[in-house]
Amino acid sequence: MNGIPLLNLKPVEKKQSIATTRSFDKDYRTFEEVRERITTFIVSCSKKLRSQHSLCNSMQVFIESNRFREHDEYYSKSVMIKLPFPTNSSIELAGFALQGLTLIYKKFIGYKRAGVVVMDFVPDNEYQPSLFLNSNPKHKILMATVDKLNGRFGMQKVRLAGQDQKVHKMKQERLSPCFTTNFKDIFTINL
């Protein structure tokens, strides 16, 4: 109250890895459907990377079929990709993720789950550029502009062409009410 800090709060530490994984509402059987989801996942990861001012050096892409279907073959595969240069650009990371997806994708399988994990971070202000392979410097300005527009007008108003056309929403029919944080969930008693 008198300007004396009472709590010893530690600053928030940067994450060591960032993952975006989802189970799908149905089995995806075409490469295009899985590619759209992987692209959307990597865009989400790259936004989180930029928000903590980090660049990633490697990523993991994985896909998995439905393990509970007894009459279908279970297939699960992942690939680790070492990037030629550190980046947090959605465009570059999506390209690398799709290269990994083409290595592990198998036709005629219904995929129920997929995900992307970015790791091996370096702070974006301590990055030492290479002589031959570097991230496109125009992407830094472009990604800042995209983040600003999406922050102002809503998520995924500006997105990559390879991303999903629709915004996927998680099923939350059985979600508990938030009595303490949402006025709409406060119940009233009539006497």
| Higher-scoring residue by pLDDT: 85, 69 | 85
CA distances from 107 to 28, 68, 99, 102, 103 (A): 11, 19, 16, 11, 12
Q: Indicate if the pLDDT at residue 86 is higher than 70.
A: yes
Mean pLDDT of 31-60: 93
Q: What does the mean pLDDT of the chain come to?
A: 85
Q: Where are the alpha helices (DSSP H) in 1-79?
A: 31-51
Pairing of strands 54-65, 17-28: unpaired
Q: What residues form DSSP beta bridges with 77?
A: 63
CA distances from 68 to 72, 113, 141 (A): 9, 12, 45
C-alpha to C-alpha distance for 155 and 125, rounded to whole angstroms: 26
C-alpha to C-alpha distance for 52 and 13, rounded to whole angstroms: 9
pTM of model > 0.85: no
C-alpha to C-alpha distance for 128 and 130, rounded to whole angstroms: 7
CA–centroid distance for 166 within its chain: 16
Instruction: Check residue 96 and give its pLDDT.
Output: 95
Count CA atoms closer than 13 A to 95's CA, side-chain side.
8
C-alpha to C-alpha distance for 139 and 33, rounded to whole angstroms: 26
Cβ neighbours of 95 (radius 10 Å): 14
**Who's near 39: CB < 8 A, 6+ residues apart?**
94, 97, 98, 160, 162, 163, 164
| pLDDT tens per residue across span 123-169 | 988 877 777 877 888 888 888 888 888 888 877 777 787 776 666 55
For residues 178 and 128, the answer to whether their CB atoms sit within 8 Å is: no
Q: Indicate if the pLDDT at residue 179 is higher than 70.
A: yes
CATH of range 17-153; options 3.40.50.300, 3.30.1490.100, 3.50.50.60, 3.40.50.2300: 3.30.1490.100
